[in-house]
Chains A and B, each alone.
Chain A
Amino acid sequence: MAVRLSGRLGLGLNCDTEQTLDLLERISGLKEGKRINLSFQDIDFFYPSFLVSFMIACDKATKEKQCTVSITDWPEEPEVRCYLRDSGFCQLASLPEPPQVENIEHDKENILPIEHLEMVGPTFGADLVALLERRIDLSTGVNRQLEECIEELRANIIQHSQTKWSGVALGQDYPASGRVRFSIGDAGIGIKTHLCEQHSQYRELSTTDVLRKSLEQGVSGTDLETNSGQGLYELQQFVELNGGELVILSEDGFLLLEGRQVKEKRLLKWKFQGTIVCLTFEADYGSKYYLRSELEQNGIIPTNTEAGDQ
């Protein structure tokens, strides 16, 4: 099978989501031992959400079904080729470095390279928050809490993904557009399957409704782990306040939120084996983010400012 891709690949608004989902479906649906050849020649842009979901889908197909995924043509644009190198994608996917990028220097400070979650260092969450703080003014408390949310997500994936390797994550600051994008994903059993193992009431719900539920406080895959179900909830709270974007792809469910609004909620006709969470944070010049407790400690009760629970 040969597939020619074009445009801006990723999941979310301003991305070619349909083409990305179509490609993931093709890779996920490969039969044992089959091959797919991909042409990246006409691609203008790779979002982190594409690289993470593509990595997971390919890993699953190649390791479990001995399929072959090969790239027959690299992107024509040198910057785009360079990004594949500097994001760490080529190295992690055991691909050769794209041609003719030796003399091109990408701004590596803008990238939190793609990496397996067990391999990232203890400052992984802090490094992502540092990317965010280039665009958004965060109090110390919010800084710490966001870091803990990211680490909580990572810990949950490592603990619960039920696969040999847990997952991957990639972060990127886009100074030109004033956005920070972060994607994290695993090749596990999926959110609905995981929640249904412990809570029979979710079995009656559609996958997209379960994904919506998974963003609520305290929803977790196990009765016995306390304080679970906080990572996604608190991140979603922050993205909501920020007016950013949250995308979840898990099994046959696809959910896209912009700020508080559900922009898209779709049941797919195929299943992505795993879960991808993609966050886009908007540059929010002129705003500062505080925890409620920080304001209250200083005698300030939030009234006119927008406020989430925390």
Chain B
Amino acid sequence: MIRYGALALAMGPMSRESMFVPRLKLLIVMAQALEKKYPLGRWRRNAVIENADYIFYETLYRSMELRQQAASGQERRPDGEDRDQDDAYVHFLWLQRIQLMAVMTKSMAQGNPAGQYRMQAFNENLSYVAGRLDEAPDLSRMPFLKVA
């Protein structure tokens, strides 16, 4: 029997929090695959749109939470430490960039036109978002995505 996932001592239920980064990494993979024109297909397209929507609304919710915290003077990191204003703003911007990536990826999956400058913006935004992750996904490890 093959084993995947958390080590025995680290096992526990999945939560909305633990789901965010995997979903975000999936969206990054989806965006990269679209940019490289990997085969899409009907079900893959549906999955991209569904995941983009998930990330969009999740980041919207997180942004609103952050703004509420800022308004009440309670800017805290997820680990409970106080977040200074610059750090909070950078984090807020990152969430906006993720939202933008979700919109862009969904638009590409839906076949909307993407000219030179739109693609440039798409790639720049994708690099920004992926660059802030500890371990950005590597498309070259997923050759099955080249097959429809």
Q: Do A and B come from one complex?
A: no
Q: Which residues of B contact A (CB under 8 A)?
A: none
Q: Which residues of A contact B (CB under 8 A)?
A: none
